[in-house]
Amino acid sequence: MIARDISSEIRLRAEEKDAVILAHNYQVAGVQDVADIVGDSLELARAAAGRREEIIVFCGVDFMAETAAILSPEKTVLLPAPDAHCPMAGMITGGEVKTLRERFPDAAVVAYVNTTAEVKAESDICCTSANALKVVESLEADQVIMLPDRNLAGYVARFTEKEILPWQGFCYVHDMMTIADVSRARLNHPGAELLVHPECRPGVIDLADYIHSTSGMIRHICASDKREFIIGTEPGIIHQIEKRCPGKRVYPLSEKAVCINMKKTSLEKVLQSLENLTPRMVVPEEIAARARVAIERMLQI
Ligand code: 13P
Ligand code: SF4
For the chain, what are the domain ranges?
3-85+262-282, 88-170+289-299, 177-252
- Kindly give the distance from the C-alpha atom of residue 161 to the centroid of ligand 1, in angstroms, as a whole number: 25
The pLDDT value given to residue 181: 98
Q: Is 259 within any annotated ligand binding site? A: yes
Peptide bond into 148 cis (omega under 30): yes
- Kindly give the distance from the C-alpha atom of residue 86 to the centroid of ligand 2, in angstroms, as a whole number: 5
Q: Whole-model pTM? A: 0.96
Peptide bond into 279 cis (omega under 30): yes
DSSP, collapsed to helix, strand or coil, labels residue 86 as coil
Q: What is the DSSP letter of 25?
A: T
Q: Whose CA is nearest to atom 4 of ligand 1?
A: 213
- Kindly give the distance from the C-alpha atom of residue 291 to the centroid of ligand 1, in angstroms, as a whole number: 19
Do domains 3-85+262-282 and 177-252 share one topology? The answer is: yes
> Percent of the chain having pLDDT more than 70?
99
Other Cβ atoms less than 10 A from the Cβ of 266: the count is 18
Helical ranges in 104-236 per DSSP H = 117-121, 132-137, 150-157, 172-175, 179-188, 202-207, 214-223
pLDDT surpassing 80 at residue 186: yes
Q: Whose CA is nearest to atom 1 of ligand 2?
A: 86
CATH number of the 3-85+262-282 domain: 3.40.50.10800
Atom of ligand 1 nearest to the CA of 174: 8
ipTM over 0.90: yes
Q: Regarding the domain delimited by 177-252, which CATH topology (the fold level of the hierarchy) does it fall under?
A: Rossmann fold (3.40.50)
Q: Is the CB of 261 under 6 A from ligand 2?
A: yes
CATH of 88-170+289-299, one of 3.40.50.980, 3.40.50.10800, 3.50.50.60, 3.90.580.10: 3.40.50.10800
pLDDT surpassing 70 at residue 4: no
